[in-house]
Structure 1
Amino acid sequence: MQRKIWKRIGLTIVYLLLVLWAVFTFVPLLWMISSSFKDSSAITSVPPELIPKNPTLDAYKRIFQVGGLGRWFLNSTIIATVSTVINVFFASLAGYAFSKLRFPGRNAIFWVLLSSMMIPGQVTLIPLYILVVDSFQMENTYFGIIVPGMVAVGSIFLMRQFMGSLPSSLIDAGRIDACSEFGIFWKIILPISKPGLAVLGIFTFVAHWNNFFWPFLITNTNSMRTLQVGLTSFRFENLQDYGAMMAGAVCSAVPMIIVFLALQKYFLQGITIGAVKG
């Protein structure tokens, strides 16, 4: 009886801590959304108003009209979507090759690729900039932003580990039916890899959507700025317009929430694969 009582007390304490942590995490998000519907005086009022008494859409109007949020949003959407599709396709293709195909030097090539992850991005930044700007003349273009991040080694590693858990008997059956290697990959492997593709897609989309430094470095006009770069410049030019900054932050968070909710089912399956054996 005492053991059950102590167990219930322990569970109660754990649940209370989880609730407090959830509230602690949710309050900044609620404050951001609330502030986007306030005017400047209400945002800086004391005591603070968590729920706006007089909600207004002026902040959203200002950032669309003055800041050019629509163009920044379009640029981020194009860059994040195209980068995600390209990265998922080529990473899954490489993951299939490294996990299921047998060819000379397979493991050596994979470990060389994996070792490149130890090189800090700052080391290759200047050579990459010179290559993109001087050699390929892709400054201030979509290609200049997308091409350097088309395929990430971490993505290849993720898909290799995931596809290594898929049954090879399906591949053998496809070969018996005279299906080409790409046909096996496209018609057999990809359909059963949705959980892994969803995890990689979410991570890739969020990473490219929130990417700041490379778009900031490679773009030099307001029309080519991404949302993250544009919001930063808007902040520097309008130091007191907190409402517009919060409105831009809300608009920036919406696509990531939509992507996660759309792929939530596959995402949860992907992160739990291999957690239960037997």
Structure 2
Amino acid sequence: RWLINTVFMAVASMILTCITSAMAGYALAKKRFVGRSILFTLIVCAMALPKQVILIPLLREMSSLQLYNTIWAVIFPIVGWPFGVFLMKQFSEGIPGEMLEAARIDGASEAKTFVHIALPMIKPGIGALAIFTFINSWNDYFMQLIMLSSTSKLTISLGIAKLQAENSTDYGLIMAGAALAAVPIIIVFLAFQKYFTKGITMGAVKG
């Protein structure tokens, strides 16, 4: 049960973060609107903000939405990840404006232009962000500890810690749980390895 909870949390966080970050990064890179520079500056500043600083507001917000002690209380704070928006903006900067303009001239809507033109071109960045988000969500012990309390809602990290807190510690069971917890991370890395490597090399030779 703990493993299922953790996999669902990490996969949902990964998918939602990639979607929202890709759209936000594309808008900040290719759209001109009032306050764009200020908004991007706030996002960059938020990257340096420790999550402990916003813990109490987040906890109150999740409680007011009646999401406390649910998996969604851990997922939603991760979805608005400033680093994801920053990363996707940097990749979206490399999209040629001529291609976007040509799509608009051909009658493509804004959504169609984003899905069929922009999204394939920033796919390496999405692959890298997917790995970062999955690992960050999987290992976010602090947020899981604060937002989850019921035994049935725990993640595998909290479950292993709970086993260690018992009077008689079964180290074999703990090692088995730790090994099991590493398997999904390895699978996700292997699945997105091609895009991750391409994304890193693109960033290295850019400019």
Q: Deviations over 1:30-89 (max 9, x none)?
A: xxxxxxxxxxxxxxxxxxxxxxxxxxxxxxxxxxxxxxxxx0000001111111100000
**What residue number does 2:33 align with?**
103
Residue 217 of structure 1: how far off its partner (Å):
1.2
Change (3 A) 1:74 1:277: closer
Distance 1:91 1:277, change over 3 A: closer
> Quick one: percent identity of the two aligned structures?
43
Quote the residue 1:121 is aligned against: 51
1:234 aligns with 163
Structure 2 CA distance, aligned partners of 1:130 and 1:275? 41
- Residue 169 of structure 1 pairs with residue 95 of structure 2: no
Name the Cα RMSD after superposition: 1.4
Count of equivalent residues = 207
Q: Distance in 1 between matches of 2:79 and 2:176?
A: 30
**1:179: Cα distance to partner?**
0.9
The CA distance in 1 between the partners of 2:167 and 2:156, in whole Å, is 16
Distance (Å, rounded) in 1 between the aligned partners of 2:201 and 2:168: 44
CA 1:112–1:239 in 2, change beyond 3 Å: closer, same or farther?
A: same
Which of these residues, 106, 118, 124, is aligned with residue 195 of structure 1? 124
Instruction: Give the TM-score normalised by the residue count of structure 1.
Output: 0.71
What SS is found at the alignment partner of 2:157?
helix
Shift of 1:225: 0.2
Deviation at 1:248, TM superposition (A): 0.6
Tell me if 1:146 matches 2:75.
yes
Task: Tell me how far apart the structure 2 counterparts of residues 277 and 222 of structure 1 sit (CA, whole Å).
Answer: 48
Counting only pairs closer than 5 Å after superposition, residues 175-254 of structure 1 correspond to structure 2 as: 175-237=104-166, 239-254=168-183
Q: Which residue of 2 aligns with 1:94?
A: 24
Deviation at 1:142, TM superposition (A): 2.1
Which consecutive unaligned segments of at least 5 residues does structure 2 have? none
Q: Distance in 2 between matches of 1:185 and 1:85?
A: 17
Deviations 1:161-190 (A, max 9, x none): 111112222111111111111111111111
Q: How does 1:13-28 map to 2 (within 5 A)?
A: none
Of the three residues 227, 233, 255, the one matched with 2:184 is 255
Deviation at residue 218 of structure 1 after TM alignment:
1.4
Q: How does 1:124-139 map to 2 (within 5 A)?
A: 124-133=54-63, 135-139=64-68
Distance 1:277 1:88, change over 3 A: closer
AA partner of residue 114 (structure 1): V
What code does the residue aligned with 2:4 have?
L
* Deviation for aligned residue 1:138: 1.2
Q: Aligned to 2:53, what secondary structure does the other structure show? A: helix
Q: Which structure 1 segments of 5+ residues have no match?
A: 1-70
Shift of 1:214: 1.2
2:163 and 2:169 in contact (8 A); partners too: no
**Could you tell me which residue of structure 1 aligns to residue 11 of structure 2?**
81
Q: Are residues 187 and 227 of structure 1, via their aligned partners in 2, closer, same or farther at CA, if it must alter by over 3 Å?
A: same
